[in-house]
Structures are given as C-alpha cells and as structure tokens.
Structure 1
Amino acid sequence: MIELVVYGEPVPAARPRFNRSGHAYDPLKSRAYKQYVSLEASKQYHGDLIDKKPLSVHIAIYRPIQTSVSNIEHARRAHNIHRPIVKPDTSNYVKLIEDALTGTIWKDDNCIVDLTARKYYSDDPRIEVTVTEAKQWLD
C-alpha cells in the first residue's frame, strides 16, 4: 500500500490552452501544481513504477475553509457536516492527480481499475492518495 499526503491548496486540472499553431498546453497554475504533486510523491515513494497491476486508488481532497463564513458554518465545514458542492468538480482534481502521479507512482494511469474521490473542507488543505493493488472480483 502507498499513502501520499501533499500539503497545500489543491488545484484542479484546467482546460488546455492552445497556442497560435494549435498546440495544446496546460495553463501555468495547473502545470505548476502537477509538478509539485509529482515532486512531493517522489519524496514519499521510493519504489519502482507500478506496471501491469490493477490498482485501486482513493483520493481525498481537502479544500480550504473560506474565511468569510460564520463561526457556525466554519464548524460545520470543519466537521464534514457541510461538504463542498461547488466548483471545481471532483473529476478535475482527480485528472490532475492521475497525470501528476504518472511516471512517479505508476507507469500509466490506465492501470487504475477502481477509483474513489471525495471532497472535504479543512483548515489544513491537502490531498491524500492511497494506492493498493485491486482485488480480483469473481462473478
């Protein structure tokens, strides 16, 4: 099992931009966060790249609690009574994390066969990623 924690405010994958010749590229903020996640993962994981194994991945995204909310609402968010149902979408965070860990944890993210992702609020923004080998299901 691999457990990674990357501290700091999570950044979702943004829509690719295109230059004049039509070449697509990641916007700067997404590209920088992807590099940061990859770097932090390489500090925490020292094994070989995972290849040809089915993986189960769980991602927990902890967004910061806005300072503009009341103390009561802050407590609700801190205790997961209220969870983020606003943009950015959970899937946009997941895509960036999958891409960032390609070449660091796994050879290609096509080996992910089970995936769960959850968004929370926290006073300690971060992402937590747990990777295990997927169990075989028999019908």
Structure 2
Amino acid sequence: MNEITFTIDGPVQAQQRPRFSRQNGHVRTYDAKESRTYKAHVTRTASRYAPEQLIDSAIELHVVIYRPLTSDIKRSKIQTTKALSGERKPIKKPDIENLVKGIMDGCTGVLWVDDSLVTKLVAEKVFGEEERAEITIKY
C-alpha cells in the first residue's frame, strides 16, 4: 500500500454553497470566491506531493483539521490545556464535511482522478495553536 502525507498550512475554508447567475437566458453555477481561492491553495500544496500518475484505485483518506482556539478557551489555562490535548473538541460551525469537501475538490486532478475513489474517509476537527489540515492518503 502506498501512502502520501502532507500538511496544508493556514485556515481551512469550508466549501460554500454554489452561486448562481443568469447570462443570456442561461443559468451559470460557480463557486464563491473564498472557496475557489482555498481550492487553488490546496491544489498548489498537493501538487508538490503528486505521484507520477494520478491515483485511479480505492483511496483511504485521513484528514485532521486544526481549528483556532476560541476566546472563551483562551481566557482559561485549564481550558486551553484541555483543548490542545484533545480533551475538548471544536463543536461549532463549520461542519466537518464542508471543510473536507474543499480539500477533496482541490486534490482532484492533482493526486487522484476523481474524489469518488475515496472509499474510506476518517476526518477529525481538533484545536491547535496553528490552523492547518494534515492529510494522509493510502492507496
């Protein structure tokens, strides 16, 4: 089994709902600017770890998303320690599936042929000093 591991630095942008516009009587669908920008960042980062050939077999994807400490946690050393040790988890929005979706879309065509190849997904949101996403791909 092959494995690729890398880190996407910076805040993880949740995939936003698609936007719609009308042009010449046709409806056009597009990503919000924040989603497009984040996907491009993921693509640039993932391209440094791209295999010679795009993955076209079953993929096991592990994603750990590090979220910022909230102000109520920062006020207490005890709560900060609990958050950084994993005892306390980030349970506020954005939803984990929206965070992972932008990462998967950004890796499509760079690491794998299509995100439908992901047959096992393990995702976790945790608190961290630095916002980032740690990715492990097994195929």
Count of paired positions: 132
Residue deviations 1:19-76 (CA, integer Å, cap 9, x gap): 134211111111101100110111233432111x111111111111124531332222
What letter corresponds to residue 14 of structure 2 in structure 1? P
Percent of aligned positions with the same letter in both sequences?
35
Write the distance in 2 (CA, Å) between the matches of 1:32 and 1:11.
Answer: 9
Distance across 1 between alignment mates of 2:30 and 2:134: 26
SS of equivalent to 2:48: helix
What residue identity is the alignment partner of 2:66?
Y
Whether 2:68 is the aligned partner of 1:64: answer: yes
* 1:95 equivalent in alignment to 2:97: no
Q: Summarize the alignment of residues 1-139 of structure 1 with structure 2, pairs less than 5 Å apart.
A: 1-21=3-23, 22-51=27-56, 53-69=57-73, 70-71=75-76, 72-133=78-139
Instruction: List gaps (5 residues or longer) in structure 2.
Output: none
Please give the per-residue CA displacement for 1:59-114, whole angstroms capped at 9, x wherever unaligned: 11111112453133222211111101111000001111110100110011111111
Q: Which consecutive residues of structure 1, in runs of 5 or more, have no partner in the other structure?
A: 134-139
Q: Find the aligned partners of 1:93 and 1:47 in 2 and give their Cα distance.
A: 27
CA distance in 2 between partners of 1:9 and 1:132 (Å): 24
Taking structure 1 as the reference length, what is the TM-score of the superposition? Answer: 0.89
Partner SS state of residue 19, structure 1: strand
TM-score for the superposition, normalised by structure 2 = 0.89
CA distance in 2, matches of 1:84, 1:94: 15
Runs of 4+ in 1 over 4 A off after TM superposition: none
